[in-house]
Amino acid sequence: MNLADTLDPARIALVDHPVAAREDVLRLVAGLLCTPSLGPGLEPETVCEALLQRERVASTAVGDGVAFPHVKLDGLPAARTAVAVLRGAGADLGALDGRPTRIVVALIVPPDSVGGHLLLLGVLSRKLRDPAVRAALLDAPDAATVIGLIGELHVVSP
């Protein structure tokens, strides 16, 4: 799975206004994930509810201001990724380090996805441990820059 194959500039948001609540962040990325439309049964509300249910199991905020909301969805034809860069104070997504989340990389995959998305999340997590990469994302002037920073990541599916 190649991250660039799941990304689209239309699914990247550089957010300058405050977004503090978990539900608002997940609603934002759900809307991005559904751009362009995924079709009937996969509207932003449905995707948001699936992400919220996943978050109720355990927070996907990994610390250092980064979160990886992810879920498998019935009827999804292919994996999709959305990125929201919250340039303000960030949002409390329940990270263990207590820091607000400012970089959200959301991933939805079909139910038959066999671990490739988890490997991709691991690669993303390692990439975003680098403070310089996080700073560059927060300063990114446009979606193309975001894709340039993380879009080259790929994994070989198991």
Say if 30 falls within a structural domain. Answer: yes
| pTM recorded for the entire structure | 0.91
C-alpha torsion sign, points 70, 13, 135, 127: positive
Residue pair 26/55 in contact (Cβ under 8 Å)? The answer is yes
Question: Percent of the chain having pLDDT more than 90?
Answer: 64
pLDDT of residue 37: 80
Distance CA 153, CA 67 (A): 17
pLDDT band at 154 (very low <50, low <70, confident <90, very high): low
Say if 27 falls within a structural domain. Answer: yes
| Tally of domains within the chain | 1
Distance CA 67, CA 94 (A): 10
Kindly report the average pLDDT of the chain as a whole number.
89
- Reported in sequence order, the residue ranges of 6-60 that DSSP labels E, i.e. its strands, are 12-15
Say if 91 falls within a structural domain. Answer: yes
The whole-number average pLDDT for the span 25-32 is 97
Say if 155 falls within a structural domain. Answer: no
Q: Quick one: tokens of 79?
A: 């994996």
Give me the CATH number covering residue 120.
3.40.930.10
Structural domain harbouring 144:
3-150
Concerning whether 154 is annotated as a catalytic residue, the answer is: no
Distance CA 135, CA 88 (A): 13
pLDDT band at 158 (very low <50, low <70, confident <90, very high): very low
- The set of residues, in sequence order, having a beta carbon less than 8 Å from that of 11 and lying 6+ positions away, is 32, 33, 35, 80, 81, 82, 83
Say if 86 falls within a structural domain. Answer: yes
Of these residues, 17, 70, 117, 154, which one is catalytic? 70
Say if 156 falls within a structural domain. Answer: no
Q: What is the pLDDT of residues 97-150, one digit of tens each?
A: 999 999 999 999 898 877 767 777 888 888 899 999 999 999 999 999 999 998
Say if 19 falls within a structural domain. Answer: yes
Strands 66-67 and 61-63: antiparallel
pLDDT of residue 33: 95
What Rg, from alpha-carbon coordinates, does the chain have? 14
| 3-state SS, residue 63 | strand
pLDDT of residue 150: 87
